[in-house]
Structure 1
Amino acid sequence: MSVLTLRLAGPLQSWGASARFARRTTESAPTKSGVVGMLAAAAGIERGDDDRLAPLAALRFGVRIDQPGTRVRDFQTAHHGVTGKPMPLSERFYLADAVFVAALEGDRPLLADLHAALRTPVYAPFLGRRSCPPALPVELDLHDAGSLMDVLREVPWQAGAWYRRQYRGQDDIELTVLREADEHEQQAADVLRDQPLSFAAEHRRHTLRTQITCSMRIPNPSARQLPRHDPLDALDEEST
């Protein structure tokens, strides 16, 4: 198995698992359906092509929260394109200044094709909604060794420099990871309706998947190296 890693960073992101009329919420981290949809768009898979979507949906998914961001709310208005009448006021939620590392585990040929597609996408990637473009290239790397969790431990911390400053006194940092549960973890897992079956406009369909919330510690590249100080050194100097 190989693992494809993605960096999801931008001024705004919105990963909605559900929408109720004019209220569009966002999850606290990227959803599998959102990330798979982004990969499918980059590869040029059309919305109704469920056969080509199925291998992407079968990939094992996980995401590391490197910079959680801030939840913000926006009110939007629109007018009907034909009649010009005002549409209902829409309430939409976003994550501002968030950074995530997403990982997908599966067969190397498929992941290699997706990695290449992200570099020259058919349709431009966006972070949950078309109004949320990424601030940096999405693709990170294709890893040929290690499990999904092993690879997430190896990827350097992707948080912004301004965010890392508050942790300069720590040699490592604890990050939250959301990943699909293994077979023996089903009883302890959360259940989400986030497994995509079809993105067809006339019949979007999702089914249930399981998710485990855990944490991992990774090295802090911004850790400040303090000079060594031993008060007993002064006694040694006096005795010489």
Structure 2
Amino acid sequence: MRTLLLRLKGPLQSWGASSRYQRRETHPVPTKSAVVGLLAASEGRRRTDPVEDLTALEFGVRVDQPGTLLRDYQTAIDWRKESAARLSERYYLQDACFIVAIGGPDALVESLEGTLRAPAFPLYLGRRSCPADPRLVIGSTGLGVEESLRDLPWQAADWYRRTRGRRVPLSIYRDARSGEQVEERIQDLPLSFDPAGRQYGWRAVHMPEPHVVENEHGRDRVDPFWEAVVGA
């Protein structure tokens, strides 16, 4: 088994998990469905193609920089039909940085690493308005998903590090294994991306102890104002 590490970082990201009607929310961390879609796009798969091999991969996320929530209030009018204005709310994460770990068979993980470096289709961080950074791929390791997340150095921006304390806990979310405690259940397991009938199953999520990193640029005491602005 190998583990592929990705850096999901950009001005805006949006990870839909419970959006309804004209309100498009974002999950606080990347969803498995979005990352599976990103992997499938890199390989050139169509929305009607099966993705069972990708959903079977083990999935984990480390929150290096949580970002802040942005609400975008939109109105849209189809001038060709003279329709009434449609109102919508779309939510994004600003200035966030997540490390995603994808574990699975050596051949498949190595193949995905190659296609992500030269993708068949454009790659996005959840929505088409959020293009992925060209430095998306970090590399692959022979460690497990959680071990790879704990082994990788902290990837947060320098300005963010200066707002944190001397020791910073990085939250980890990963697929729960049999018998493990489940802290969250989320309907983000893609069964089909077919526009004629998209289907998603439920996924059990386990949150192990955070990975604590030493922050040489940190403050001895964190300002409560910055705590509220940039997140915990």
Asked if the contact 2:170–2:213 (Cα under 8 Å) also holds between the matched residues in 1, the reply is no
Asked if the contact 1:194–1:209 (Cα under 8 Å) also holds between the matched residues in 2, the reply is yes
Cα distance in structure 2, aligned partners of 1:120 and 1:75: 35
**C-alpha displacement of 1:10:** 0.6
Aligned-partner SS, 2:122: coil
Please give the TM-score of this superposition, normalised by the length of structure 2. Answer: 0.88
Which amino acid letter does the alignment assign opposite residue 13 of structure 2?
Q
**C-alpha displacement of 1:82:** 4.7
Residue of structure 2 in register with 1:21 after alignment = 21
Please give the TM-score of this superposition, normalised by the length of structure 1. Answer: 0.85
Which amino acid letter does the alignment assign opposite residue 155 of structure 1?
L
Cα distance in structure 2, aligned partners of 1:184 and 1:86: 52
Residue of structure 2 in register with 1:177 after alignment = 172
Deviations 1:190-211 (A, max 9, x none): 2211111010111110011100
Asked if the contact 1:11–1:135 (Cα under 8 Å) also holds between the matched residues in 2, the reply is no
Asked if the contact 2:15–2:125 (Cα under 8 Å) also holds between the matched residues in 1, the reply is yes
Please provide the CA RMSD for this pair.
Answer: 1.8
Asked if the contact 1:72–1:96 (Cα under 8 Å) also holds between the matched residues in 2, the reply is yes
Change (3 A) 1:189 1:48: same
Residue of structure 2 in register with 1:223 after alignment = 216
Which one has a larger percent helix, Structure 1 or Structure 2? 1
Cα distance in structure 1, aligned partners of 2:136 and 2:92: 19
Change (3 A) 1:84 1:156: farther
Residue of structure 2 in register with 1:235 after alignment = none
Unpaired runs of 5+ in structure 2? 219-232
Residue of structure 2 in register with 1:233 after alignment = none
**C-alpha displacement of 1:214:** 2.9
**C-alpha displacement of 1:224:** 5.1
Deviations 1:50-107 (A, max 9, x none): 1xx1101110111000000001100122233752534411111111111000011100
Change (3 A) 1:224 1:75: closer
Unpaired runs of 5+ in structure 1? 226-240
Asked if the contact 2:182–2:204 (Cα under 8 Å) also holds between the matched residues in 1, the reply is no
**C-alpha displacement of 1:118:** 0.8
Change (3 A) 1:82 1:113: farther
Residue of structure 2 in register with 1:164 after alignment = 161
Of residues 196, 205, 217 in structure 1, which corresponds to 2:199? 205
**1:73-152 correspondence to structure 2 within 5 Å:** 73-80=71-78, 82-143=80-141, 145-152=142-149
**C-alpha displacement of 1:179:** 0.7
Deviations 1:86-145 (A, max 9, x none): 4411111111111000011100111111111111111111110000113452111111x2
The ranges of structure 1 where at least 4 consecutive aligned residues each deviate by more than 4 angstroms after the TM superposition are none
Identity value in percent: 43
Q: How many residues align?
A: 218
Residue of structure 2 in register with 1:232 after alignment = none
Cα distance in structure 2, aligned partners of 1:219 and 1:189: 23
Change (3 A) 1:8 1:84: farther
